[in-house]
């Protein structure tokens, strides 16, 4: 006679019931163990009362707040005229230059004036000197309000108008000393040959909301080292 087939369904049900019983037993055992433990004390929801500081807040130093150095008298950030040098004839007596006068320093004054208005020109402090008959330095510090754009950074990186007397210009050499001054950026230009009786070197420096224009000229050729020294010293004053 053929063997009687095994009932697989019954075996599966028995295995499932045993697994379920083991799960329930384990849960009950864990609950009983946890219930027998001492309750863990939770941290209080109330927080200690913080005491309010009294008196005036200690002001930030110039190193922590760069605006301290630029919101005062901007003329104090100009590089001082060297001993023995005479002030350039174009420098205003009070050291300030208004919007129209500053725009007039460029080869396209009307266009420059419009750009300065758009960029929220605030003020300009200027200085310049002649050392002998062959060497001259002009420095202009221009401050923008910078409420809607980074005008100083844009001006330094892409100077769009030539300054009167500067002639054509190509990118100049890197200024090692100025490159180490934090929170400043700069580009330099030099007038290529043939440049006539004198050569002009230019530097444009951005430091926060201040844009510096530095020109150095010399008959027979503007030397690299004195120019780099001037740029470095002026950049350090803006940092």
Q: Which of 205, 142, 199 is nearest to 170 (CA)?
A: 199
Q: Do the Cβ atoms of 178 and 235 come closer than 8 Å?
A: yes
The pLDDT tens digits for 151-166 are 666 776 666 778 877 7
Backbone angles phi, psi at 156, to 5 degrees: -70, -40
Which residue carries 């700069």 as its tokens? 186
Q: Which of 33, 73, 149 is nearest to 158 (CA)?
A: 149
pLDDT number for residue 68 = 47
pLDDT number for residue 196 = 83
The one-character DSSP state at 37 is S
Q: Kindly provide the b/e burial profile for residues 72-86, where b requires at least 16 CB atoms within 10 angstroms of the residue's own CB.
A: eebeebbbebeeebe
How far, in Å, CA of 163 to CA of 228, rounded?
19
E-assigned strand segments in the chain: 86-87, 96-97, 121-131, 135-144, 170-171, 185-190, 198-207, 210-219
pLDDT number for residue 38 = 75
Residues 6 or more apart from 155 whose CB is under 8 A from it? 119, 142, 204, 206, 211
> In the chain, count of helices (H) and strands (E)?
7, 8
pTM check: above 0.75? no
pLDDT number for residue 55 = 65
The pLDDT tens digits for 132-144 are 878 999 999 999 9
How far, in Å, CA of 16 to CA of 10, rounded?
10
pLDDT number for residue 212 = 94
Low-confidence ranges of the chain (pLDDT < 70): 1-12, 14-20, 22, 24-26, 28-36, 46-47, 50, 53, 55-71, 147-149, 151-153, 156-159
pLDDT number for residue 22 = 66
CATH class of 67-238: alpha beta
pLDDT number for residue 62 = 47
pLDDT number for residue 213 = 94
């Amino acid at each position: 006679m053929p063997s009687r087939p095994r009932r697989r369904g019954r075996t599966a049900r028995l295995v499932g019931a045993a697994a379920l019983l083991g799960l329930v037993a384990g849960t009950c055992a864990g609950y009983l163990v946890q219930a027998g433990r001492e309750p863990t004390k939770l941290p209080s929801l109330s927080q200690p009362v913080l005491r309010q500081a009294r008196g005036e807040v200690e002001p930030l130093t110039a190193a922590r707040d760069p605006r301290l150095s630029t919101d005062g008298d901007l003329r104090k950030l100009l590089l001082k005229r060297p001993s023995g040098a005479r002030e350039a004839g174009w420098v205003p007596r009070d050291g300030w230059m208004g919007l129209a006068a500053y725009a007039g320093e460029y080869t396209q004054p009307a266009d420059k004036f419009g750009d300065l208005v758009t960029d929220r020109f605030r003020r300009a402090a200027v200085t310049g000197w002649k050392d002998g008959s062959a060497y001259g330095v002009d420095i202009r510090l221009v401050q923008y309000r910078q409420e809607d754009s980074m005008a100083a950074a844009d001006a330094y990186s892409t100077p769009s108008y030539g300054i009167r007397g500067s002639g054509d210009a190509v990118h100049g050499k890197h200024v090692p000393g100025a490159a180490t001054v934090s929170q400043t950026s700069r580009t330099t230009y030099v007038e290529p040959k043939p440049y006539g009786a004198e050569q002009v070197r230019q530097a444009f420096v951005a430091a926060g909301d201040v844009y510096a224009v530095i020109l150095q000229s010399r008959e027979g050729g503007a030397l690299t080292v004195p120019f780099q020294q001037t740029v470095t010293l002026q950049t350090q004053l803006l940092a």
